[in-house]
Amino acid sequence: MKAIIFEQHGGAEVLKPANLPDPQIKADEALIEVRACALNHLDVWVRNGLPGIKFPSPHILGNDIAGVVREVGELVSWARPGDEVMVQPGVACGHCAECLAGHDNMCDEYDIIGYRRDGGYAELVAVPGVNVIPKPKNLSWAEAAALPLTGRVPARRGASPAARPGARRRRGRPDRDRPLHRRPAVTALQLRPCLRSSIRAFAC
């Protein structure tokens, strides 16, 4: 597959095209053909490097992904090849106390697609099956790709003590700490009407 990678930290000049092997999915994963990947400031932080955090090299950035399912693992029954989807970028273990309580963003193994695992600056990306969300039909690929990480920030704020203003920042988890009053919360409220029908269908 074709991808944009970086092998050393720095400015935009460290990004370069590359041909890489197609990702191989696990039984609980899905392979997504990327149709759009939005830019997120997390991409800039990772590319520039963060103190005390080691990133894989070469690395593929890209947190906010929309695309088409190409393949699913044997344990994924809720998505099929050809489905148009968005990718929820937060990845957790799924079995710790925080995950089981619904606070997956507080999981000690919490990660973000494109942060310490390869993301959407590529033709293909392998993601956990549980992270696949139906794309609303009334959104373009670009609009759908603009939602995932931005929408996730306000979605968890009410349940996460670490998100409250003045709370101590937990190192290495950039998605946990943004307070409720920031602009993404407004974005989520504005987008609620266009997402409601798809969320209900997925929940059923």
Banded pLDDT at 143 (limits 50, 70, 90)? very high
pLDDT over 70, % of the chain: 73
Q: What is the mean pLDDT of residues 18-43?
A: 96
Contact status, residue 5 vs residue 19, Cβ threshold 8 Å: no
Specify the pLDDT at position 167.
Answer: 39
What are the chain's domains? 2-203 (3.90.180.10)
Burial 39-70 (b: 16+ CB within 10 A, else e): ebebbeebbeeeeeeebeeebbbbbbbbbbbb
Q: Which single residue is written with the structure tokens 């392998």?
A: 126
Banded pLDDT at 152 (limits 50, 70, 90)? low
Specify the pLDDT at position 181.
Answer: 34
Tell me the pLDDT of the chain averaged across its residues: 81
**pLDDT of 201 higher than 90:** no
**pLDDT of 97 higher than 70:** yes
Banded pLDDT at 103 (limits 50, 70, 90)? confident
Give the Cβ contact number of residue 95 at 10 Å: 9
